[in-house]
Amino acid sequence: MSRTLFIADLHLCQEEPAITAGFLRFLQRETPGADALYILGDLFEAWIGDDDPDPLHQQIAAALRALPLPVYFIHGNRDFLLGKRYARASGMTLLPEEQVLDLYGKRLLIMHGDTLCTDDEGYQRFRRKVHQRWLQRLFLALPLRLRQRIALRMRDSSKDANSQKSASIMDVNAQAVIDAMQRRRVQWLIHGHTHRPAVHTLTANGQPAQRLVLGAWHSAGSMIEVTPAGVNLIHFPF
């Protein structure tokens, strides 16, 4: 049967080998026979440049490249610097931050989800800054060790900032969701980022609509499967 798979927020890193093992097993088990795999950001815990010699990156690139189906990638807020070189090495196609898909007769909007968190003004300011092309070029030109130190500092500041923020500020803004779905004329939205896996029903374009949120891969896997029969959020052990 036709099926297309979506995942996000794996936050792969050396320190969490169980998640990497779970991901590699997921690829082996789920991708044969599927039409495509979409990775909606934060595949990696932090990305400081395609030239990072981290062996985990090579291992993941080799696993992705060997897959029998097309793999698409939308950047997350941790791996927005993942570039063309790594895309080529892993065989992934980089997509823009929002993409509309036509799947088995349904129009679906996919994105990482951070842009929907418009109540989090501190984050949106930070995002606008680090998405400036010139600043990214400057950062990528720094020595690797310095980039590692800066990323670590950013992670620490982010953890500090998050501990001061309410849970609702760090969730999506309801109007931002409706606006995005109306702008793209879709009744289906799939995203990650908030780590709050759920299927939400709402009204957009004057009609019933659904927003599916992928879970983070902390202690179990999370994926969405779209088939001609429907859209399912599925959790599974590593």
CA distances from 35 to 28, 126, 140, 222, 224 (A): 14, 36, 34, 18, 13
- The torsion of the CA quartet 39, 80, 124, 117, rounded to 10 degrees, works out to 10
Complex with ligand LP5: residue 76 or 231, whichever CB lies closer: 76
Instruction: Determine, following the binding rule CB under 6 A, whether residue 214 of this chain makes contact with ligand LP5.
Output: no
Residue with the shortest CB distance to ligand LP5:
122
Q: Does 78 bind ligand LP5 (CB under 6 A)?
A: yes
Beta bridge partner(s), residue 12: 44
Q: Which does 199 bind (CB under 5 to 8 A by kind): ligand LP5, Mn ion, none?
A: none
Q: Residue 188 binds which entry of Mn ion, ligand LP5, none, with Cβ cut-offs from 5 to 8 Å by kind?
A: none
Task: Identify each DSSP E strand in 47-165 by its residue range.
Answer: 71-73, 92-94, 98-103, 106-111
The single residue among 20, 77, 210, 222 that binds Mn ion, judged by CB under 5 A, is 77
Should residue 194 be labelled a site residue for Mn ion when binding is judged by CB under 5 A?
Answer: no
Q: Is 152 in the site for ligand LP5 (CB under 6 A)?
A: no
**Residue 86: what are its φ and ψ, rounded to 5°?**
-70, -35
* Residue 67 site contact among ligand LP5, Mn ion, none (CB < 5 to 8 Å, cut-off depends on kind): none
Q: Return the closest-CA partner of residue 170 out of 233, 137, 123.
A: 123
H or E element that contains 45: none
Cβ–Cβ under 8 Å, residues 46 and 155: yes
Query: Contact with Mn ion (CB under 5 A): which of 31, 193, 214, 216?
Result: 193
123 binds, among Mn ion, ligand LP5, none (CB under 5 to 8 A by kind): ligand LP5
* Cα–Cα nearest to 3, from 30, 34, 29: 34
The option from ligand LP5, Mn ion, none interacting with 13 (CB < 5 to 8 A, set by class) reads none
Buried-exposed string 101-121: b where 16+ CB fall within 10 A, e elsewhere: bebbeeebbbbbbbbbbbbbe
Scanning the structure block, which residue is given the tokens 């969405």? 224
Q: Assess contact for 37 and 70: CB atoms under 8 A.
A: yes
Residue 124 lies near ligand LP5 (rule: CB under 6 A): no
Q: Is 222 in the site for Mn ion (CB under 5 A)?
A: no
Instruction: Return the one option of ligand LP5, Mn ion, none that residue 120 interacts with (CB less than 5 to 8 A, by type).
Output: ligand LP5
Could you say whether residue 135 binds ligand LP5 (CB under 6 A)? yes
Question: Interface with Mn ion by CB under 5 A: which residues?
Answer: 42, 76-77, 193
Question: Interface with ligand LP5 by CB under 6 A: which residues?
Answer: 46-48, 77-78, 81, 114, 117, 120, 122-123, 126, 130, 135-136, 139, 150-151, 153-155, 157-159, 161-162, 165, 170
